[in-house]
Amino acid sequence: MKVEIWAEVTCPWCGLGSHRVDRAVERFEHSDEVELVHRSLPLGGTLPTDRTITVREVLLRKYGMNGAQAEAATGRIETLAASEGLSPYRVLDNVVGNTDLAHEFLAHATAQGRNREAWDTILDTYFGRAEPVFTLDDLLRLAGELGLDRDLTRRVLTDRRHRSQVQEDVRRAQRLGATGAPFTVVDGRYAVPGAQSSDALLDLLRTAWDEAHPVTRTPAGHAPVCAPDGCAVPARP
């Protein structure tokens, strides 16, 4: 069974949502038969490529939030993350920038068989360490952490070889009904928006599994019949 989660690397709900999907899969009775795949849903493509801006500035410009309001909004997410085992999880004291190259890096890592490791690393770098993940140098550093060939990674990102793959991820998410991130699809049939709780996601995994693996009832025939005092084979007609 395949579980796909579309996300933006700088979206705090995406980082938390990814963690919740991981926890749900870990608790699932058939976790060894689940393929978990992360996909790109960039939301930062309109931001400048030559600089970053603080989260505080974004919240003020886009939503008109003052300092206290920004702290309250982001503090809720940070508290939720800590309560679910993600600590540190730094949202307010962070920066944002254009994420197009970061998603192309993730597509390159996926092509090298490192999808989950790359997404875990980039989310931990950004939210756990509050380090930037936007420039070529930022991403080459992560390539080193993942054991990817730095020279190949440099050429791939410089040539923008995976731009079309990222765009296809976005188009597929939109075809499935995504209007924002995170967006999770289970078994290609169940799509849920937002950072659902791990309990809700676990229920969804079980529902999808049961529908794909229905129990077939067969006549009892001459199967042993068990009573409190033992088992006996029913008499033949």
Q: How far apart are CA 116 and CA 131, in angstroms?
A: 19
What's the whole-number average pLDDT of the chain?
91
Q: How far apart are CA 139 and CA 134, in angstroms?
A: 7
Angle at 194 between CA 128 and CA 29, to 5 degrees: 80
- How crowded is residue 141: how many other Cβ atoms within 10 Å of its Cβ? 15
Tell me, what's the pLDDT at 215?
73
Tell me, what's the pLDDT at 48?
86
Half-sphere exposure of 12 (CA within 13 A, CB side): 24
Reading the block at residue 142, the tokens are: 């992560």
Q: How far apart are CA 26 and CA 28, in angstroms?
A: 6
Q: Is the pLDDT of residue 160 over 80?
A: yes
Q: How confident is the model at residue 46 (pLDDT cuts 50, 70, 90)?
A: confident
pLDDT single digits (tens) 206-223:
999 999 988 766 565 555
pLDDT single digits (tens) 49-61:
889 999 999 999 8
Tell me, what's the pLDDT at 227?
47
Tell me, what's the pLDDT at 217?
63
Q: Which runs of consecutive H residues, i.e. helices, occur in 4-63?
A: 12-27, 55-63
pLDDT single digits (tens) 69-128:
999 999 999 999 999 999 999 999 999 999 999 999 999 999 999 999 999 999 999 999
pLDDT single digits (tens) 166-217:
999 999 999 999 999 999 999 999 999 999 999 999 999 999 999 998 876 6
Q: Is the pLDDT of residue 231 over 90?
A: no
- Cβ density class 28-56: b for 16+ within 10 Å, e for less: beeeeebebebbbbbbbeebeeeebeebb
Q: Is the pLDDT of residue 228 over 50?
A: no
Q: Is the pLDDT of residue 35 over 50?
A: yes
Q: Is the pLDDT of residue 4 over 50?
A: yes
Q: How far apart are CA 16 and CA 81, in angstroms?
A: 6
Q: How confident is the model at residue 233 (pLDDT cuts 50, 70, 90)?
A: very low
Q: Considering Cα of 129, then 132, then 138, then 142, what sign does the dihedral take? A: positive
Contact in structure between 108 and 153 (CB atoms under 8 Å):
yes
